[in-house]
Structure 1
């Protein structure tokens, strides 16, 4: 589910700019209204080698040679930089990248899934000076309220090792069938009690017909990330107790209250009976079959299949329960702070050109569209230029020349596609809206934890994680009574939870200490 959603994010995060005017990068990283003359660009062409693992080429196909050359030359004419893409081999992308980094083969820039992992191995070049000299547009593009993302690609000495790609996002949410609410004469719920009454009504009124209505279609992960925060007062995940120790969600008093409510809903038939065993394919099938009244989970599972649903019911319309609150506030949880980013290899022969090129791409929407979609009129065209809505004409050019994909653009454009439209709508309106979502208690530190050390200190880590998931499922399904919840916590302690708490708390305090 996450993989599918991030594929859309990755594919869409490279094509929109804050600037609407046509501008180019000057030597100091600023912008001007003129392009590089062809004659001048042809005299001095800088070449950079890019591992093409951060654009649509890794998800579709490679370009036709003649189309790739057309786009490459168009970019050379504008900026005087030639991008040489290295195509990742399907299925062994990571292995190939490691080989390139360890060899003498040319490699300048790549998308690092975890910046800290590559930095700790000495594979990266610090970017501070390059950003200061050539990266003005890059720094301006990233919203100030996403500043944690820069911290995530930096070390304690303030050295920056990557250009961030994703902020913390709230991809899980609660959707309701707006048309069915109207059908049964109800409003969008804003409290848990109101949501429960909606579920009860949907079960009784059966808007799908023939007893096929599923009041709440979800999974355990969907429930946790879409609703638990409303009972906990913090995002689902680790939290800081009053004793300043890091503890797992299952030990939060509010989580027990949440599980109690979910168990009650399951017993009443509101929650899909196979919620804790169904694969994503089954969830998608039920959405398409016009059976889900309310959905709680990852947004694209629902939004990406709304167009298929409309083939069965043209009036079907889902809406996000944006104002839904629990006893302790927002029901939605933010994900952790992302540590991926665009990195320059320590062995890069031309790091200045890499930064100039990414900065140029970040300066103008037309530059992004050229690198990602190709030549306007040949590979793509505008449907609504003012609102950055476009449609592709073909896939003869697959986007090998785009670098620096960033979510700061994803929320500002759209492709004309009934499948993608609801997903873009969610991303623009909700996915980074921190006013409607809560961060986990240790989110500010968690992305810097030494997970290798934690695994060494907690031999039973995987067993504890499995035990928490299995027992919570039993409580919700009624296979184990809620009256045994405290006993369950005692069982966790016997299984090694004390070491878990000790290890995570030590990491948390260490990070806070480095922050001063």
Structure 2
């Protein structure tokens, strides 16, 4: 998708005060009067299920140049009401102040039914409505949408220990970072797509020496600290870049894994040889995209769309043969790509919602059929969008009159069912990645506590380790120095001792205690 909405969702920062969601009201019991159907029978109009106020704070409206006109919204609103019996009322987030507006909505008496929130903040502080009974009575499509082979932890992370569900998942754990390489440049230097570490190093050497761009402008590899680790460190470690469990059952950070030092030495060697872009560790995603679009990047260990989504722009201006492909490398410890953590953000119903039943009915309708979902996302079929090939999931936008104000309950399970058939779209490169790599389970690594880490009480860990952020910052700074040659690798053991002085043992104790607590709870 051109807007990479799922990426935006995973990076939404909902840092609100705890006051925002605090309330002592007891939620009303949902009705058990029917099986969840919204449409009327025998062609009759559905019952009137009242108004539902939604706050679409998923990030997609931030990309809109213009909001929808009142006439467009009223037309779509009427269609939705005819289909569901629900009158949806949009509360458009103010750009740049989305979190502040949500804070006021949750703290005040203004109507609000649906929003995206987090377990650690909104549920923990009393801002979410329990969903089990609502789903039992009106949410059959919601429950059925999630594929069986996707992580059930995505649901479990949104539950409390009593089994109550408080939010609907947006996406499963994803392996979104990847090593992508210019296939046309590989052809130019006479090398195949690499399959192991040695072959990839040969590619970097060829890109550096043969310089496909010219004038020394070729960047053999661009990355960042986090993306380098999440894409390549797993080649050297069983658990990839993440917590691991030692022989005594203690949870330890990656830097204490003996094999991580070997990885750091390899990255330092590549940096010294000029294979890694010198400004990689000070460049943000925007800078990476700029360099990719400038037709300078031979390979990138980064979030996949930073290369794939720029390919059409390169073809249209600088190089009509440009093509990035994924390289599935294997190293001493197998494949390297990491699977991300389980998300604890999801679609919530406000604890003080005036119409929780109408809210879940509307969500159920959206997630019951891709046509319904696209109505919320793109507008009316035949007026704002149309199918090019429904069987293949390709559609065409007819205009951008509708910005998506009625879209809520995003789900990656729906996203994989459609794409835009646009000659200027980057989907031809991104869609195969969606299908093959994002929810990959075979050629990826999971950090050592991944089975239960989403159940950790992060606030408790932070309380026990006041220096937590300082330790994390110190790790990134010092490892970067080692790679860039600003600190000799002979001092790695000294660095580990410095971490102990900075409080890493408290980190180990806190994470180990939390790991044991959760494991005991799950076992009992």
- For normalisation by structure 1, the TM-score amounts to 0.91
Q: 1:116 to 1:306 in 2, by over 3 A?
A: same
Query: What is the match of residue 18 of structure 2?
Result: none
User: Residues of 2 paired with 1:103 and 1:463: CA distance?
Assistant: 36
Per-residue CA distance 1:137-188 (angstroms, 9 max, x = gap): 1111112232010011001111111111121111111001111112222111
Q: Cα distance, 1:282 vs. partner? A: 2.7
Measured in 1, the distance between the counterparts of 2:497 and 2:287 equals 35
Q: Which ranges of structure 1 fall in alignment gaps of 5 or more residues?
A: 12-25
Structure 1 counterpart of 2:22 = none
Match of 1:474 among 476, 481, 487: 481
Task: Return the alpha-carbon distance in structure 2 between the equivalents of residues 56 and 390 of structure 1.
Answer: 18
Ranked by relative contact order (alpha carbons within 8 Å, sequence separation 6 or more), the top structure is: 1
8 Å CA contact retained: 2:394, 2:419:
yes
Q: CA deviation at 1:103?
A: 2.3
Partner of 1:464: 471
Deviation of 1:505 after TM superposition, in Å, equals: 1.4
Per-residue CA shift, 1:102-143, capped at 9, x if unaligned? 22222111111x123211112211111111121111111112
Post-superposition Cα deviations, 1:213-268, rounded to whole Å, max 9, x if no partner, equal 21112222221111001111113122222221111111111211111111111111
Aligned residue for 1:18? Answer: none
Deviation at 1:403, TM superposition (A): 2.1
The residue number in structure 1 matching 2:57 is 53
Q: Is 1:82 aligned with 2:90? A: no
Name the structure 1 match of 2:303.
298
Alignment of 1:371-390 (within 5 A): 371-390=376-395
Cα offsets for 1:176-205 (capped at 9, x unmatched):
111111222211111111111111122222
Q: Deviations over 1:311-335 (max 9, x none)?
A: 20000111001x3111111110111
When the two chains are superposed, the root-mean-square deviation of aligned CA atoms in Å is 2.1
- Asked whether 1:333 is paired with 2:338, we answer yes
Q: 2:130 aligns with which of 126, 132, 144?
A: 126
- Measure, in 1, the Cα distance between the counterparts of 2:479 and 2:131: 45
Partner of 2:27: none
What is the number of residues matched between the two proteins? Answer: 494
Distance 1:276 1:132 in 2: 49
- Identify if the C-alpha distance between structure 1 residues 281 and 56 changes in structure 2 by more than 3 Å, giving closer, same or farther: closer
Give the drift of 1:278.
Answer: 2.4
- State whether structure 2 residue 491 is matched by structure 1 residue 484: yes
- How far off is 1:30 after superposition? 6.1
Task: Name the CA distance, whole Å, in 1 between partners of 2:42 and 2:402.
Answer: 24
1:110 is paired with a residue whose SS is: strand
Check whether the contact 1:304–1:423 (CA below 8 A) recurs between aligned residues: yes
Give the structure 1 partner of residue 374 of structure 2. 369
**2:112 counterpart of 1:140:** no
- Within the alignment, does 1:221 sit opposite 2:216 as a pair? no
Deviation at 1:489, TM superposition (A): 0.4
| 1:146 match: secondary structure | coil
CA 1:392–1:9 in 2, change beyond 3 Å: closer, same or farther?
farther
Mapped to 1, the partners of 2:193 and 2:272 lie a distance apart of: 24
Correspondence 1:320-469 to 2 at 5 A: 320-321=326-327, 323-417=328-422, 418-421=424-427, 422-469=429-476
Whether the aligned pair in 1 keeps the contact of 2:8 and 2:58 (CA below 8 Å) is no
| Long gaps (5+) in structure 2 | 11-32
Tell me by how many angstroms 1:382 deviates. 2.3
